[in-house]
Amino acid sequence: MPEGRITGPAAAVGLRGWDLSDAPWLSAWADATENGWEMIFESLLRYRGNMVRTDKQADLAAAMGLRPVQNPQTPLGAAPQQAAAENPEERHKIWQDSIRTLKTSPRIWALGIDGMGGDPDGTASTAALQEQWQLLNATVPGAAAYILLQGETVALYQEGKLKIPDSVIPVLTPAPSASSAGGPGPGAQHGLWFSLCRRDKLTGNPMTAYPGGDTAVNGMLQGAWRGGVRSFWMVGTGDLRPSLMELNLTGALWCTPDTDCAAQRTAYLRCTYRAPDGWALTDSALEDLSVCLRARAESAVQAGSPPQPVGEAFLTRSTRLFASAWLCGKTQGQPEAQAYREQQLVKLKKYRLGLAPGPQADGVNALIQEMEDGLWP
Q: Where are the domains of the chain?
A: 15-255, 316-372
How buried is 346 (Cβ within 10 angstroms: 0-12 exposed, 13-18 middle, 19+ buried)?
Answer: exposed
pLDDT, position 187: 43
pLDDT, position 315: 61
For residue 306, say if its preceding peptide bond is cis, omega within 30 degrees of 0: yes
pLDDT, position 276: 78
pLDDT, position 145: 96
pLDDT, position 83: 47
pTM exceeding the 0.85 threshold for the entire prediction: no
Q: What whole-number distance in Å separates Cα of residue 144 and Cα of residue 169?
A: 8
DSSP 258: T
Spatial CA neighbour of 174 closest among 308, 351, 26, 32 = 308
**Residue ranges of the chain whose pLDDT lies below 50:** 1, 82-83, 180, 182-187
pLDDT, position 1: 42
Spatial CA neighbour of 67 closest among 55, 50, 49, 54 = 50
Determine which helix (DSSP H) or strand (DSSP E) holds 109, and give its type and residue range.
Answer: strand 109-111
Buried b (16+ CB within 10 A) or exposed e, 241-271: ebbebbbbbbbbbbbebebebeebbbbbbee
pLDDT, position 350: 83
Name the packing angle between helices 261-272 and 283-298 (round to 10°).
120
DSSP 273: S
pLDDT, position 109: 97
Q: What whole-number distance in Å separates Cα of residue 109 and Cα of residue 76?
A: 6
pLDDT, position 348: 84
Buried b (16+ CB within 10 A) or exposed e, 16-33: bbbbbbbbeebbebbeee
The CATH classification number of 15-255 equals 3.20.20.520
pLDDT, position 247: 95
pLDDT, position 24: 84
pLDDT, position 325: 74
